[in-house]
Amino acid sequence: MSNKLTPADAKAHIPQLVQSQHVQKEIHGDNLMGRINTRLALGITRMVGSMWCAYLFALLALISLPAAIGSHSPIIIIAWIAQTFLQLVLLPIIIVGQNVQAAASDARADSDHKTLIAIHTLTVEVHEIAEQQSKILTILEERSNSQDAVDE
């Protein structure tokens, strides 16, 4: 596929806003099962990807902390930190961070889209002015040529 557009195609092109929610159907499909899977995944992600879930998971992990410390085994304490605390608590925090990044990306996309629409609108106007000027120059050239013919 070529990235080049004809001038007519470029003139007719209208920039489109594409945000995260616009590409969801490409992940699971646009059929009934795909929409159900997308909603289910987004629902779980919203629940798990919240700071409240991070707090809940931290409390849940802290329940087993006394048993890990009571074992007096460095391996069990390190395993509790790595496998219980870090995995349970960091998972929702990472998802929250990704949600913030996605929102920032969508905000940038929206801003860029507005800028592209403005640039596109101005470019179309400039192109129309250039076409009108070309017509005027053609008319003036024809008049000049006909005047030269009369003078000879």
Reported as a single tens digit per residue, the pLDDT across 69-118 is 999 999 999 999 998 888 888 989 999 999 899 889 888 988 888 888 88
Reported as a single tens digit per residue, the pLDDT across 115-124 is 888 888 888 8
Give whole-number Cα distances, 44 to 39, 49, 56, in Å.
Answer: 9, 8, 15
The percentage of the chain sitting over the pLDDT mark of 90, rounded to a whole number, equals 36
User: What secondary structure letter does DSSP report for 50?
Assistant: S
